[in-house]
Structures are given as C-alpha cells and as structure tokens.
Structure 1
C-alpha cells in the first residue's frame, strides 16, 4: 500500500470514529504542531510550561471536538488540528498571563484565531546565524532595527511569511489557515520575501548587507 493510500485509509478510519487512528495521525503531526507552538509561545508562558504540555492539552481538546471535523470533513485534518492547537495556546496564554498578554506584537491573527508570531520571535530566528564576535557585538542593535522593520510590515504579509518560512506550511495550507485564495497567499509570500530581503540587505552582518 502506498503512503497516499495509507493516509487516505487513516483519514477514513478517523471519519468513522476510530480514536486509535486519530491518535496515530496526531502523533505523526506532533512535530509540525510543536514547531508552531514553540514559535508562537510567549516566553513568560514558556517559563511556566513546556510546549509538550500545550500539545497534550490540544490532544485532549481534539479528542473531545473531533465530531466537529467529522461533520465537516472538507477541511484538511492537519489544518483543523493546527486550529485546535492554536486555540489551546490562546486559552493557555489567557489563563496564565491574563491581561499581560496584550502586546501589540502578539495579537490574535484574523482568519485563524491563533496568536500571531511576535516580531521578537521572528527577529530571533533570523539572527540565530549571527555568531561571529563582530556580528554578536552589534546583535542587540540589529535586533532592534529588525523588529522595528518587521513591525512596519503588513500583518497578514508577515503572517504568511511565518507560516511558509518558519512553520513550513505549503501555500495551499496557508490559504486554508487564513481563509484566503491560493493566488493571494502566494502573491503575499513573494511580496513579504522581497520586503524581508530588503530589510536584511540593509543590515550589517547579513550576506549582502551594508557594511558597518
């Protein structure tokens, strides 16, 4: 049996109410979901709980609410699980941080109800390759400038960039997450990449960047 047929069989079993099949699918999706949680989790929440705790809470919610997907299975199952995980993360932010989670850089993203990736998280990931002593000395200033530039980007463009580049979702998956047409998300990704490239090229310490 091919991998495609195996996946189809697994989905069919889940539609018939097979919880073991759902458990297997969730286990296979866990790494991708964990990547999303780690990237979007507020550091203050991360100090209190592990991303695995979020995934466990999300699994419980998915088991309890799987009938919603079964009743409307036209939605991709992974995207539905990602939605449940995003909502779980929002709930945990509110439970543990309350009003302190109200940060302009961590708003809930229109279209998918999950927490937006903060510009701090994006900048941190982009700066992870900065390792030389001369670059490290400028890292704080570069980070500040990069965060400011990212804040100036269109929020949806920034979200498309995060979904494609950091969560490694396909264009079709991004379109479903955001409730947009595939051509629109593709165009936004190209635009966001161009904007990001321009930002990075103006920063010392990046390939093609300005000299300090």
Structure 2
C-alpha cells in the first residue's frame, strides 16, 4: 500500500482539526461506559487520525460525500475495533470491572435509536421498540443519501441546523428545509412499511 504524501497528511490533519470537537463529542456519546474504563474519547479521536492516514483512497474517493461523514465512519470503525479488543478479549474480562452502580449505564450508548424512534412516533413500550427499531433502520436505509445524512446529523450527532449546514456546505435555511423534508419522507416510508403510528 503506497504511503500518503505530505500534502495528503496535511489535508487529513486539517480536516480532523476542523471537526475534532464534533468527533470528540460523538466518541463520548457512543463509547460503551465499560470501555471508558480503558480508553478515553481522546484516544478514539487519535486512533481515528491514525486510521484516516491509512485510508487515503477512502477519503479522496466520492468527493460528493462530506469529509465529516468519512471521518465519522472511520471513528465508528475505530470504536468497533476497540470494543473487539477490550470487551471480547479472553485475556481479561473488562465487564468484571463494572461497578454495580454502573450497570444501568452499560446500554447508554445503544439508546440513540430508541430516542430517535420516540421523536418520530411518540413514546414506545420496550417491546414495541425492539420491533420498531428494525423497521426504523430499514426505513432510514431506504431513503436517499441526502436524507440519511441530515437525519443522522440531527438525531445521532445532535447537531443544530447551523451545524449541519456547515458540515454539508449548504445554507442554514436549506439545511432546515432538507431536514423537514427528510423527516416527512421517513415518516411516510414507515407508514408504508407497517402501521407505525404513535
């Protein structure tokens, strides 16, 4: 594999610096609380930079996809790799380090889909969530890329319309319009898939 040149490395570093706080916030929200006993969000962002330097083709291909989304993808891959390394390792069981008071926090990083479902359909019972979680994923995956991007930024990255506009290189007004339309399309798709009503 060819090594990245100085210009490419500088470009990656600039992008990571530009989006560092957003990536850091994303890492904080998505790291398993058990894993937080071994690695920090800063570690995740640093590992994301290292991985990005080895994925030049991924970063440079498909220029229509915002750089933030590419870095976001690498960050989630980094978290998954860290979970495999620390939480599935047979050498030392990280779960044994979990305090009793922390047990309810262990699923915190997994609740974004549930909160998204509630925001779209109203409060759901736990049993309903299990089924509708999958329907929601299916509906979201069926949407055009632009719709998925704005919904993910708003609901999974907790960004404002202004933040979304900056990442997507559009105006705040257009970000707002895109979000409303994407939400309408998502709700329509859910209704087509099932009797998905609040």
TM-score (normalizing by structure 1): 0.49
SS of alignment partner, residue 65 of structure 2: coil
Q: 1 CA distance for matches of 2:197 and 2:35? A: 31
Whole-angstrom CA distance in 2 between matches of 1:72 and 1:15: 20
**Does structure 1 retain, via aligned residues, the 8 Å contact 2:8–2:56?**
no
Determine the C-alpha separation between the residues in 2 that align with 1:190 and 1:92.
Answer: 37
Displacement after TM superposition at 1:92 (Å): 0.7
Q: Which residue of structure 1 lines up, in the alignment, with residue 130 of structure 2?
A: 151
Deviations 1:116-175 (A, max 9, x none): x5138856xx9xxxxxxxxxxxxxxxx9x75544333224158966653241385997xx
Output the CA distance in 2 between the equivalents of 1:95 and 1:48: 11
What's the CA shift string for 1:55-113, capped at 9, x where partnerless?
1111111112224322543432111111111111111111111189xxxxxxxxxxxxx
Conserved 8 A contact 1:15-1:70: no
Partner of 1:187: 185
Give, in angstroms, the shift of residue 30 of structure 1: 1.4
Structure 1 residues 188, 61: closer, same or farther in 2, change over 3 A? same
Unmatched segments (≥5 aa) in structure 2: 91-108, 142-147, 169-178
> Whose RCO is larger (CA < 8 A, sep 6+)?
2
Q: What secondary structure is seen at the aligned counterpart in 2 of 1:17?
A: helix
Q: 1:51 to 1:57 in 2, by over 3 A?
A: same
- TM-score computed with the length of structure 2 as normaliser: 0.52
Q: Classify the secondary structure of the residue corresponding to 2:34.
A: helix
Question: Which residue is equivalent to 1:94?
Answer: 84
* Paired residue total: 140
Correspondence for 2:49: 59
Structure 1 gaps, min length 5: 1-13, 101-116, 127-142, 174-181, 199-212
Q: How does 1:117-196 map to 2 (within 5 A)?
A: 118-119=110-111, 147-153=126-132, 154-156=135-137, 163-167=153-157, 168=159, 170=164, 187-188=185-186
In 2: Cα distance, 1:21 partner to 1:49 partner: 26
